[in-house]
Amino acid sequence: MQGTAGRIVLGFVAAAISVLIVHQGIVYILGTAGLTRTQPWSLQPLGYGPFAWIPVLANHIFWGGLWGILFAFVYQRLPGTMMWLKGLIFGMLMLLVSNWTLLPMIRQYVFKYPPQPLFAGFNPTGIMVGLLIIGGFGIALGVIYGLLARERNA
């Protein structure tokens, strides 16, 4: 798979794998430690918005996959040569732009449920949880995409 279609597929697949294994694995570990109430690998309906019937896990995979597609297109432009570092940088940018700014505004002004404060409400625990989950997702995304893309380009 080469070109644009290949990047789209590889980016989505790498992100889906990252969500299923690393993102949700970290959610499980943090939940076990009592740091989050989010249920990992939940097949419960999302419960809000126009697609309230979609399982939470499918929602995570879909949005993670879209981020993975974007990652596939910026991968070569990210600084460094290490796959995990590129993924971590992307994950931190993703966290800052999406989870801590855009998502809270969309939930407040479009769906009006559930509330999510800007920048995790400046709560140190919330910030740490976000950094761990999305940082882990980003690292895994970088490694998985890098390996898949390298294998295809060899």
Nearest alpha-carbon partner for 23 in 97, 99, 83: 99
State the pLDDT at residue 126.
Answer: 82
The residue with tokens 């644009």 is 4
What pLDDT does 154 receive?
Answer: 45
Cα–Cα dist 62/13, whole Å:
10
Other C-beta atoms closer than 10 Å to the C-beta of 48 total 12
Spatial neighbors of 51 by CB under 8 A, at least 6 apart, are 59
User: What pLDDT score was predicted for residue 78?
Assistant: 92
Distances (CA, A) of 27 to 9, 13, 130: 25, 20, 10
pLDDT for 108 equals 67
Nearest to 132 by CA among 58, 36, 13, 68: 36
Report the pLDDT value the prediction gives residue 99, as an integer from 0 to 100. 76
- Which residues of the chain fall below pLDDT 50? 154
Please report the pLDDT score of residue 61 as a whole number: 97
